[in-house]
Amino acid sequence: LYTAPDSCEGRCGEPFNEEDECHCHPGCEAEHSCCEDHERHCGPDGFSSSSGSISEQELLELSEQLYGLDHNKARPSDIALNPQHLAGPDETGDEQDRSPQPLYRYVNEELFSKPTYASFIKLLDNYQRATGREEEVTAEELREQGRFLEEVMKTELMKKLFVFLQGKNRYSSEQEFLQDLNQMWFGLYSRGDGERDSSGFEHVFSGEVKKGKVSGFHNWIRFYLLEKQGLLNYFSHNFDGPWDTYPDVLGLQFSWDGFYKEVGSAFIGCSPEFEFGLYTLCFLARPGRACHLSLGGHRLSVQTYPWTKATYDGGRRFIATAYVMSP
């Protein structure tokens, strides 16, 4: 399932992309730019059929479909933002608070009673944010992880994603997909000194602190809840997406208990399943590379990276990070 950026496994026949380290499109041999294992996977006897690869066009179409299926997203009346200062490139790193007011003027918290939101929020207090400190996972926390996955898989959005991946021979059953989601997002690995201190979910959605700086933390719900508690101070934004409905995209500067985040890009107003599904799609289709998508007619990219120092299930990779890219 995992496609290494320097391998043709699962990439045969995909279109040329100049960002790729090496290539697997039909003309790469003539250009001497093929990955080393091109012949093994994509030759006449290769075992990565092009029917399993995911094209750029398919990503654009599927992302629009998932955008349309985000039935649990916020309506424009559910959130009032106060973005205040637009930071220039020379201002994002100077740790100056240029916005005296909070980012969120108002959020309709009835959203949080929807099953995917409620089960998502329950996960946010399960983590030690400091890297290098072992995560102790209780039976209750395992139940909460299972509940969240169960709830997101009930949504039309995640069912659509599964059917697409099943059609690409990535998963044979919903159960297999669910088990792999559990491992790739919640499986523990070490960012610190050999302690199993991190997971993709913790990093992306809850946020971590590493070497005195905020690491990960790309979720609007987490941001709002911490800001409301007075634990997070919004400084400025360096990007505000072109959308006039939700989800929108913001690039943010903020301080979490005194730890700074120079650019924390986030979807604003989307449901947990939308973000979870979109990042999963990009991780499976374009790990380690920009994943080009379209939402409501606007192009954007998601960047994901695999964790390269540990694997599960015979070589599959955990998610190291995933975030929407703000220009």
List 23, 41, 237, 261, catalytic entry: 261
**Count of helices and strands (H, E) across the chain:** 10, 10
**203 in active site:** yes
Nearest to 158 by CA among 189, 119, 123, 125: 119
Which residues, in sequence order, are bridge partners of residue 266?
Answer: 250
**160 in active site:** no
List 25, 73, 218, 292, catalytic entry: 218
- Token pair in block for residue 172: 């044979």
Instruction: Give yes or no for a contact between 278 and 149, defined as CB atoms under 8 angstroms apart.
Output: no
Instruction: Give yes or no for a contact between 199 and 310, defined as CB atoms under 8 angstroms apart.
Output: no
List 25, 203, 210, 237, catalytic entry: 203
Nearest to 34 by CA among 46, 47, 21: 21
**What span, in angstroms and rounded, lies between the C-alpha atoms of 201 and 222?**
12
Nearest to 301 by CA among 270, 267, 273: 267
Which residues does the annotation mark as catalytic?
Answer: 203, 218, 261
